Every structure is written in C-alpha cells, then in structure tokens.
Amino acid sequence: MPRKRSSKRENDIPPKGAPGDDPLGEGELIETPLRARALVDELVEKTSPDDPRYPYLLLLRHQVEVDERQFNEARKVIGELEEAYHKLTSPANRIATFLGSPAPGIARIAVGESEYYANIDPRLDISELRVGCSVRINEAYAVVGNLGANPTGPIVKVRETLDDGRLRVGSEPGQITRIVLRGEALGEAPLKPGDEVRLDPTAHVALEHFQKAEVADYYFEKIPEIPWSKIGGQEEAIRLIRDTIEFPLLYPELYAKFKKKPLKGILLYGPPGCGKTLIGKATAYNVAREYSARVGRDVREYFMYISGPRILNMWLGESERMVREIFAAARERAKEGFLVFVFIDEAEAILRTRTSGRYLNISNTVVPQFSAEMDGLVDLDNVVVILTSNRPDYIDPAILRPERIDRKVKVGRPDRKAARDIFAIYLTEDTPLDPALLEEFGGDAAAAREALLDYAVDRLWRVEPETEFLEVHLVSGRVETLYWKDLVSGALIMSAVERAKDFAIRRCIEKGSEREGISREDLDEAIRLEYRENEIFPKSDTQEDWLKLLDYDPENVAAVRPIRPEKDYAAAHRSII
Ligand SMILES: Nc1ncnc2c1ncn2[C@@H]1O[C@H](COP(=O)(O)OP(=O)(O)OP(=O)(O)O)[C@@H](O)[C@H]1O
Ligand SMILES: [Mg+2]
C-alpha cells in the first residue's frame, strides 16, 4: 500500500507569498508546501477586524485547525496499520542448521533433509557461527542471522565413534543408522557406544551428550535398617540364608579346613509380597553388620538392586553389557573391601530358559553371559548373588547349576503364627488402641493389643462363605476352594494394618478427639477391603498371573476361577480357560 507522502513536517513554517504552482488545482491536485492554517492566518492578519468577513475568517481558521488535527490523527492510524500489514505479510524466515563454511562468505546449511551451499550476509560475524547452530535464512537461502544453539532435537544412541570424530548413531534397534557430525559443544567428550546424544533438528549434528545415569546410580540402593526381627516368620528361609551366606564369611578357616567352597548365590522364590525383597535387603544389612563384628573393622555392604524386567527391556545387546558392567562393578567394590550383594529381582525375566512360556521366541544371550560372570566370582568371597522369582521353573537350569546359584530358598506364605508375628511387627506396641477395647482389658494396653492380634489372625483364617476366594480346577478333575488364609502374605497384612490406621486417624479428625485408636472393627473392615482391592491379586483373569500366586504345579491346573461376591464381578465368574 504505497502512498505518496509529503516530506513537509507539521510545524514547518510556510513561506510568505505565493502558493504553489497550481494553487487552484487544475488537473491533478498538487499538495502545496503551504499549510492552510498559515494562509488563513495571513488572511486574518490582512483583514481589518471591522471587516464584516472577519468573523467568518476566524471561523474558517478554527475549522481548518480542527480538520488539520483530524488529518494528523488519521495519518497516524494509517501509519500504524501499514506497519502491522507489513509485519503480517512479510514471509517468515526459514531456520537452517549451519554445517560449516567451505569457502569465504559461503555456508553449508541443512534445511530438513536437504543441504544448500548458501551465501552469508557479509554483515554477519562468521566467526560466531558454530557447526550445528541454527541460522536464519532468507528466501534466497542466504544466511542472514545467527540464532545460536538450538535447544531442541531428537535423542539418539551412539553406536560407534569414528576416528575422525564423526559418530554413527541410531535411534532404535533395527533402524537405519546414520553418520552425524560432532558439534563443537561436544568437543572431545569421550563418547561410548550406548551413550545418548541430542541431534540438531535436522539430524546432521550431535549437539549435546546426554549423560546416562551412571550404572552405579542405576542399581545402587541404600538399604534401610532391617534387623531380622522385622521379618515375620520365614525362619527356615532366614536360617538357610545365614548358613549359606554368613557362615563362609564368618568362619572361613572352617571352610578352608573342609575344603568347602563358599556358595556364591541363592535363589529366593515364592509368591509375591511374602518378603523375598525384604529378606534380600535384610540379608545385606545384617550380614554386613555381623561380618564387621567378626573381622573387627567396619565392613560396609554394597547392595546392588537390579530389576530383571528393566534389564530385559533394554536396547538390543545392552542387557548383556549391563550384566557385564554389574559384575565388573561388583568385583571392583569387593576389592575395595565392601561386602557386595548383587540382588536380581524377578530374575526369570532375564535368566529364563529358552523355551519358557511367553518368552519363547526371544533368544536369550544373557544366560551365557551371566553364567560366565558367576564362574568369574569364584575367587571372591565377599560377593553374593541373590535372585528372586515368582516362577523359578522359568529360570534356565544352567543358572541354577552347582557353583552358580545352587541354593534355592522358598519364601512361602505365612502360617497362622507367622501371620500373627507380621501383624505384631506393624501393629507396634505404641499404636493407639480403641478406648472401648482398652476398657475391656481394664486399661491393660499390652493385653488389649494381644487380643487384637489374635482377632486379626482369626479373622484371616476363618473358613466361611465370605472368605472363599478362589476355585482351582485340577487336571485330575478335583476342585479345590482356596480361602483368604491360603492367599495371605506379609504385604497384605502390612497393608491391612495401614488401612486400619487410616480408619482410626479419620475418626480422630472427625470427632476432634485424640483418643481414638484401632479397633477390631477397623481390622475387620481393613482385611475385607484388602481381599477386594489389593493390587497383589490380578484384576485380569489371566491364568498365568494367578498361577504365580499359587503353590500348584502349573501343569496340574486346568482352570482358576476367582470367587467374587459382588455383582459387578459377575463377569469374572466365568472359567479362565
Ligand atoms: N515376612 C514378612 N515380614 C514382615 N513384612 C513383610 C513380610 N513379607 C512381606 N512384608 C511386607 O510386604 C512388603 C512387600 O514384600 P516384598 O517386597 O519383600 O515381597 P516380595 O516377595 O519381594 O514380592 P514380589 O514377588 O512381588 O517382589 C515388604 O516391604 C514388607 O513391608
Ligand atoms: Mg520383590
């Protein structure tokens, strides 16, 4: 919208005398250099106030003034509109990635997948253009602005570092890999295969090294204080572990005398929530303490917690690397004097037999790697490997061979006595109790608590329609009904006590009283809810999931049918297979 504009400014003083060349505006109307107001002023000046036209002239001057003001305002608005129009209609600049300057004044740039040999605006300071930085380019693809480092872009894994500094990267296994330049910001960073880097948005230059969490951060776990007394039941398992792990450490001379090699690893197996992980951590805590006392110096434990499924889901080939690194770190720590526990939770995920269940079609290269690493531990007496699994039958027999993981310890469901012990661990002596219950025992809190513990266990072990939980149809044709007591676990008991505490706390708040405490009814309701809502029990009807919870040989089970009283569980009543 070009417009001819007067070069005169508003307050220019018009020269006295003749107006422009064509003041009457014959033909095209030409703007005179004179202002109308100045002309009128002149007329006013030249006219006597007595002249009858004088008031008209004054009126005219006023009107001219008003018009002039309006004109100026309109011009300002048009100017603003023009500027906005200009902004909104000028094309956006593309953004390219600067790949280098092959000749003076020339840039190699990438726009998307394409590359260009482009001119650089001479006003730009070329020395500030870094390989990988973003640049603004105009319609001719000339570089006209430096936008500096681009903070975004895809993350990929380094597969190989080439001698000239370039990198071979690939984002997913099986995908094409590509060669990228090393951005200046990366400098000489020691990149390893498997490291992650961020590329520029056109994926030509690696810009940033994404430091992976150090392997140690990945698995090292600080264990809380878990004396053996914090574990209810499981005496047999604990005794076996102590014999297996502690004795060789505490009595090395005896082992030497009998030429007996210490065991390197144990497998804890059993249903979920019964204390496998807890026992693993307690082992690390307690053995380190007892060993310290024995050797007369402070021996610290180093507990490496490794989740099997997490390793399984790693990048192709990376699980093996991880296993290698785990054992390398374990050996290193052991040499530094730590008592090292390599704890692999849900081990069947990575150490499965090649033909087992749902993992049928994955060739397992972790098993040989793991076996070799176990064999390499022979000379180290302060590294212990503990595996846990809900499905030990899935674990490759090569792993469970003598001198590898050759002790299997069952961590089973608690019996009545163990269940009571576990209740006692969580319902501690200082837990506030219901005033009515206390009164029943004449204020004897200890007796009231004992009664509460008895009540809780009785409640769990009651055999009645309400506590029917699962029907197991055996291949032999027999049907067995399992009750609450058959599926009880430490995790469930702990969770029930926590729930009962919630009830009591809520009552305190509602009644504005601090005297409320846990009652039989709280425990009753909490236990009932546990069996209805606890995540331990599969929500799905997958037989595989249920079998993990049961002590049956999977081969003998034809079907598992949850017994759920509620109407909305009606669908679940159908047979699973
Ligand atoms: N025997 C027990 N004594 C005391 N607390 C227990 C016991 N068993 C389980 N618990 C409680 O339940 C929680 C869960 O148990 P844990 O993680 O050890 O189960 P798990 O056997 O490893 O189960 P999963 O197979 O699901 O890994 C523990 O942190 C602990 O609070
Ligand atoms: Mg566990």
> How would you write 61-95 as a 3-class SS string?
HHHHHHHHHHHHHHHHHHHHHHHHHHHHHCCCCEE
Q: Is 422 in the pocket of ligand 1 (CB under 6 A)?
A: yes
The pLDDT of residue 20 is above 80: no
Q: Which of 494, 535, 536 to mutate to test the pocket of ligand 1 (most atoms within 8 A of CB)?
A: 494
**Helix, strand counts (H, E) of the chain:** 16, 19
Q: Report which ligand 1 atom has the smallest distance to the Cα of 274.
A: 8
List, in order, residues 6 or more apart from 430 with CB less than 8 Å away.
none
**Lowest mean pLDDT: which of 166-170, 424-428, 479-483, 565-569?**
565-569
The response to whether residue 425 sits with its C-beta less than 6 Å from ligand 1 reads: yes
Closest protein CA for atom 11 of ligand 1: 491
Of all protein residues, the one whose alpha carbon is nearest to atom 6 of ligand 1 is 490
In this structure, are residues 105 and 119 in contact, taking their beta carbons and an 8 Å threshold?
yes
Tokens representing 163?
């001698």
Ligand 1 atom index nearest CA of 418: 1
Tokens of 78: 């048009």
Neighbouring-strand partners of residue 473:
479, 559
pLDDT above 60 (res 18): no
Average pLDDT over residues 214-223: 64
What is the pLDDT averaged over residues 164-190?
80
Structure tokens at 389: 């699994």
Model pLDDT, residue 449: 96
Q: How many CB atoms lie within 10 A of CB 263?
A: 19
Q: How far is CA 422 from the centre of its chain?
A: 33
Q: Residue 34: what pLDDT?
A: 65
Nearest CA to ligand 1 atom 10: 490
Name the region of 512 (left: φ>0; alpha: ψ -120 to 50; beta: rest).
left
Q: What sign does the dihedral 201-206-210-215 (CA atoms) show?
A: positive
* pLDDT score for 214: 54
Computed over every residue of the chain, the mean pLDDT equals 83
Quote the CA–CA distance of 263 and 285 in Å, as a whole number: 19
Quickly list DSSP for 141-177: --EEEEEE------EEEEEEE-TTS-EEEESSTTSPP
pLDDT at residue 120 is higher than 50: yes
Two tokens, residue 81: 């509109």
- CA of 278 relative to ligand 1 center, distance in Å: 5
Q: Which of 270-279, 318-327, 328-337 has the highest mean pLDDT?
A: 270-279
Q: What tokens does 492 get?
A: 């469930």
Question: How many angstroms is it from 79 CA to the middle of ligand 2?
Answer: 73
Average pLDDT over residues 3-13: 44
Cβ of 231 below 6 Å from ligand 1 = yes
pLDDT at 346 over 80: yes
Pick the residue whose CA is nearest to atom 27 on ligand 1: 272
Confidence at residue 6, expressed as pLDDT on a 0 to 100 scale: 43
Query: Residue 442 burial (CB < 10 Å; 0-12/13-18/19+)?
Result: exposed
- More confident call, 332 vs 420: 420
Least confident of 187-201, 277-291, 476-490: 187-201
Ligand 1 pocket: which of 241, 277, 426 to mutate (most atoms within 8 A of CB): 277
By alpha-carbon position, which residue is closest to atom 12 of ligand 1?
491
For CA atoms 24, 30, 34, 40, give the dihedral sign. Answer: positive
Mean pLDDT value of segment 110-118: 93
Residue nearest to atom 17 of ligand 1 (CA): 277
> Which atom of ligand 1 approaches the CA of 233 most closely?
1
DSSP single-letter state for residue 433: B
Lowest mean pLDDT among 52-61, 221-230, 346-355, 505-514: 346-355
Cα 422 to ligand 1 centroid, rounded to whole Å: 10
Q: Which domains does the chain have, with CATH numbers?
A: 1-90 (no CATH), 94-148 (2.40.50.140), 155-212 (2.40.50.140), 217-410 (3.40.50.300), 416-573 (no CATH)
* Higher per-residue confidence, 273 vs 577: 273
Average pLDDT over residues 549-561: 81
pLDDT at 391: 84
Confidence of residue 16 (pLDDT cuts 50, 70, 90): very low
Query: pLDDT category, 31, cuts 50, 70, 90?
Result: low
- Give the three-class secondary structure for 124: coil
The segment with the largest mean pLDDT, out of 14-18, 218-222, 509-513, is 509-513
pLDDT tens-digit map of 121-147 = 999 998 889 999 999 999 999 999 999
Q: Is the CB of 412 under 6 A from ligand 1?
A: no
Q: Report the atom number in ligand 1 closest to the C-alpha of 414.
A: 1
Ligand 1 contact via 390 beta carbon (within 6 Å): yes
Task: Say if strands 134-137 and 94-100 run parallel, antiparallel, or are unpaired.
Answer: antiparallel
Nearest bound ligand to CA 279? Answer: 1
Best residue among 235, 274, 303, 387 to mutate for probing ligand 1's pocket (most ligand atoms within 8 Å of CB) is 274
The helix (run of H) or strand (run of E) holding residue 408 is strand 405-410
Q: How confident is the model at residue 565 (pLDDT cuts 50, 70, 90)?
A: low
Express each pLDDT in 87-97 by its tens digit: 888 888 999 99
